[in-house]
Amino acid sequence: MASALAGDDLAVSVSSRRSWTTGSFREAWTAAPDVFNVSGRHTHEDDEEELKWAAIERLPTLERMRKGVLKHVLDDGHVVLDEVDVSNLRLHDKKVLIDSILKIVEEDNEKFLRRLRDRVDRVGIEIPKIEVRCENLSVEGDVYVGSRALPSLLNVTLNAFESVLGIFHLAPSKKREIQILKDVSGIVKPSRMTLLLGPPSSGKTTLLLALAGKLDRDLRVSGRITYCGHELNEFVPQKTCAYISQHDIHFGEMTVRETLDFSGRCLGVGTRYDALVELSRREREVGIKPDPEIDAFMKAIALSGQKTNLVTDYVLKVGV
């Protein structure tokens, strides 16, 4: 009887030893869970961000387009999420937002532009593109030649008298007709840089002014200029394109920031607000949560009627 019990104890001991050995080998060959893996943890920051986004998504469209989330890094390294009104950003908030997307301009600007493009492409929104065409464009003008073309006081006086007499047909004009452009045709395709080359006085500036709809009314123009099939008399070309002269003329009383803000208000936001509303609607339909920094930037530059715009800070950051 005692020998039988001893045999049973020996069998149990051997069995437990085998079980322990098998378990040890299994633990040795099986990878332990990585406790430092960020993707496996749900941090307090993620929970806070989810709650703030959920609160913003429940707002009406008009209010939702004015709300964003900014991340602030405290001195102790902790990250705090703040809900901000992008239509009334403080100077500190603007600096935090611009610095977060453009830490190093030479490296981050292209990444930032790609992030903007990726957000739009992700929901299948087509960015409006403009194709400019000119067909058989000719421009003629009447000018003085020789010594009469010099901008002297005598010539200005004679020109004024001749202009008055010419109105009543009392004196023939001494101007000569000059052909500036003759039967010019071409296409400026969207998303493609175009280089215009030519010798001096070949009509490069006149062509650009014609495409921008800013030619002098005294010039005689023939031919056809279209923007996506629409002629210049069907819309306001100054809201679609701009001609920038090689002579920069600025108000001496205005700073660079004030000049950029003034130019931005004259130009307006265009279709940015409507496009952002459609973008937000499509993201809600498919359950996409946008990047907080990109979302705040796009909302800030899409609001009209602001005295200063975040675009000014972006231009100064990139240009300086």
**pLDDT tens digit at each of 320 positions of the chain:** 444 434 444 343 444 444 444 444 444 444 444 444 544 444 666 677 777 777 888 888 888 888 888 887 777 767 777 888 888 888 888 988 998 888 888 888 999 999 999 999 999 988 888 999 999 999 999 888 877 778 888 888 888 888 887 777 777 777 888 899 999 999 999 988 899 999 998 999 999 999 999 999 889 999 999 999 999 999 988 888 888 887 767 777 888 899 889 888 888 888 889 999 999 999 989 988 888 899 999 999 998 888 888 999 999 998 76
d(CA 312, CA 104): 18
Domain that holds residue 225: 132-239
Count of domains observed in the chain? 1
At 45 the pLDDT is 61
At 28 the pLDDT is 40
Is there a domain that residue 193 lies in?
yes
d(CA 152, CA 320): 41
Is there a domain that residue 150 lies in?
yes
Is there a domain that residue 99 lies in?
no
At 75 the pLDDT is 72
d(CA 93, CA 70): 8
Is there a domain that residue 140 lies in?
yes
Q: Give the pairing of strands 230-231 and 220-227.
A: antiparallel
At 13 the pLDDT is 46
Instruction: State whether residue 228 is helix, strand or coil.
Output: coil
Is there a domain that residue 188 lies in?
yes
Task: Name the percent of the chain in helix, strand, coil, to the closest 5.
Answer: 50, 15, 35
At 148 the pLDDT is 79
At 234 the pLDDT is 92
Is there a domain that residue 195 lies in?
yes
Please identify which residue in the block is written with the tokens 């930032």. Answer: 112
Is there a domain that residue 214 lies in?
yes
pTM of the model: 0.67
* H/E element, 71: strand 67-73
How many other C-beta atoms can be found within 10 angstroms of the C-beta atom of residue 122?
Answer: 14
